[in-house]
Structure 1
């Protein structure tokens, strides 16, 4: 996989908890905000796996170990901006503001999770690889033509950078000076295919050079560096200075999905190395060393997170079971004649 070389990697807090760029350290309130966000989305990831084992959640793609990459980018946005996640970016959507109950419903394949809240510009967790990037360009261009300063942030994994839509979107965004921030989470694997097998490139952020836009490579397990890079890119887009590609170098320590067995295609030695670079533990250690966090803070936060999650699950449990016809309800704002005919046929079959 791509090596974590500090020579070309933006880093503020290294894996040993040492500050290597004190000039980029945010204030204490921002540091604790970043930590709280990572703890919150990690709890969802861990509990989602448990719910799946209990038969109370559908197939779920864990993102544990990638909390800094997801929270650190999404927190650079405002609710007026667009967030376009992949199926592995539940953490980013939660950090952006997607309600936990809606998120649980989505991964239960309930219609109550299909429609995103009207107050948030977040798209569903699309499964097709790299479609998020051209969609983001469209959202960004639409915002620019309306005269806003809103931006669009889209995510893909390292495997997505091998898709044609990755290149088309970067070219499109550069040519139109679209206010986009492209997040490329290099987590080492495209299902069972390692990054080194996909490409000989060792710095995927340099692909931005071919389209005349900036590329930044950042330690994806250092949320301070990720948040800084994302905030700079968002500010640049708001100033009408165009798109940015950010490669966050991280690692998928969890399986591809809850139904995956990673031991079939990788050893656990490298995974253990990356577990030692845990983004949540890294920032917690620094906060404690700076006397900004202690056991009392941690206990209070955990109680708050558990209460929020359990209340959301209880709410999701009250949602009625979907009817088969609901699968057609959200395809178009106004159903086409074909959809209406299909709906009628499906209703007849159900009633029979």
Structure 2
């Protein structure tokens, strides 16, 4: 319709001069059209006679369901979940917390090589509860709670962190780089933001298949500074991909505070810039996360559109076991955050307000969770490393001659110097 009207108006511009040289007036419709930008790059823009540079717009609000005391602020947004499901979510938050404590200490003792905790960001589990189990997950490195909610066992977590013979990744990845085909969780990779365009591509394939599924891609606000972020979002918007981009804005990209990362209105404003439906949520409010993710999924699968969720939270832990956050932020700041707004305390308060939890249960659940973690930890520690042959598998359908020769050479060396290569530490060939 616009193109036809534009054509008529352009013709009118040429024909609105009488033969005597006087001008005819343009029609009302054409006058209105001239107020709209006709260039194809920004059709929703209007002409203005004011010379003004736009430096900011109104800040995007942050969606919240309950306050820090676990009280739902608007009863219309009361979570529609069963007692059983709500208790499961909370138990998984406690289990995640217990696992983080044990494995963090294990790394400090030199028993595993690396670890990253989710302290302060446990409410992320709410996003997993809003997804279909067949939706594909692309994580960054702080999504253990999503896996836990999907059914990944403590034994599987421990086997991966120990890189033992039962590790699904066959010892080829660093600790916490989980992945499982069974639970539709793509293996995590260390380079930042590579998963963003990958999630877009997978979502495009889902759209073509018409299976009414989506992908969800997790990343931090630091990763949003990578080029892959911009490429992934732009492709998703222009191709119409059913993907949920979930940004954990926890205030720090390792040692760089958010104030030094960008000058715009967080990460959410970038979604609007790419024409993506966007929402900012309270990332410490599990029910705000749950509701936003559920609504985002409906948009993605029903309209074949990407959605961006920016979850505002605070990273209580060090970035990883390779980091000492006291070097770039006061310890008191961390302590104050832990006391002021703790996702676990908030969820517990909500459950207590509903009469679905009693204070004494916390001690028993936490004690039980820690015991389960320690049992899985002890069992994983005793297992051998994966067989050496796995070094050459799973890349080619048929191992090429060059790798066959290399494999034979290594087998010969291992047999010749078994003590040097500590062959007893590895599973048999």
TM-score, normalisation: structure 1 = 0.90
Moved more, 136-145 or 275-284: 136-145
Report the Cα distance in structure 2 between the residues aligned to 1:319 and 1:159, rounded to whole angstroms.
Answer: 37
- 1:13 equivalent to 2:56? Answer no
Q: CA deviation at 1:281?
A: 0.7
Aligned-residue Cα RMSD (Å) equals 2.4
User: Alignment length, in residue pairs?
Assistant: 347
Alignment of 1:100-249 (within 5 A): 100-110=154-164, 112-115=166-169, 116-249=179-312
Does the CA-based 8 Å contact 2:268-2:309 persist in structure 1?
Answer: yes
Give the number of the structure whose alpha-carbon radius of gyration is greater. Answer: 2
Residue 82 of structure 1 corresponds to 136
In the alignment, structure 1 segments of 5+ residues that lack a partner are 1-5
CA separation in 1, counterparts of 2:398 and 2:152?
A: 25
1:288 to 352, 355, 362: 352
Q: Distance in 1 between matches of 2:342 and 2:160?
A: 27
Counterparts of 2:397 and 2:164, CA distance in 1: 19
1:321 equivalent in structure 2? 385
Counterpart CA distance in 2 for 1:111 and 1:125 is 19
Distance 1:337 1:274 in 2: 58
Residue 55 (structure 1) aligned with residue 110 (structure 2): yes
Q: 1:167 to 1:302 in 2, by over 3 A?
A: same
* Partner in structure 1 of residue 365 of structure 2: 301
In structure 2, how many angstroms separate the alpha carbons of the residues matched to 1:96 and 1:14? 27
**Residue of structure 1 in register with 2:329 after alignment:** 266
Q: In structure 2, do the counterparts of structure 1 residues 338 and 106 end up closer, same or farther at CA, with 3 Å as the change threshold?
A: farther
| CA-to-aligned-CA distance 1:8-30 (integer Å, 9 cap, x gap) | 11111122433223222214524
The verdict on how the C-alpha distance between 1:332 and 1:82 changes in structure 2, with shifts beyond 3 A counting, is farther
Structure with larger RCO (C-alpha < 8 A, sep 6+): 1
- TM-superposed CA distance for 1:319, in Å, is 3.0
Whether the aligned pair in 2 keeps the contact of 1:325 and 1:346 (CA below 8 Å) is no
Report deviation, 1:303. Answer: 5.1
SS of the residue corresponding to residue 322 of structure 1 reads coil
* Cα distance, 1:90 vs structure 2: 2.0
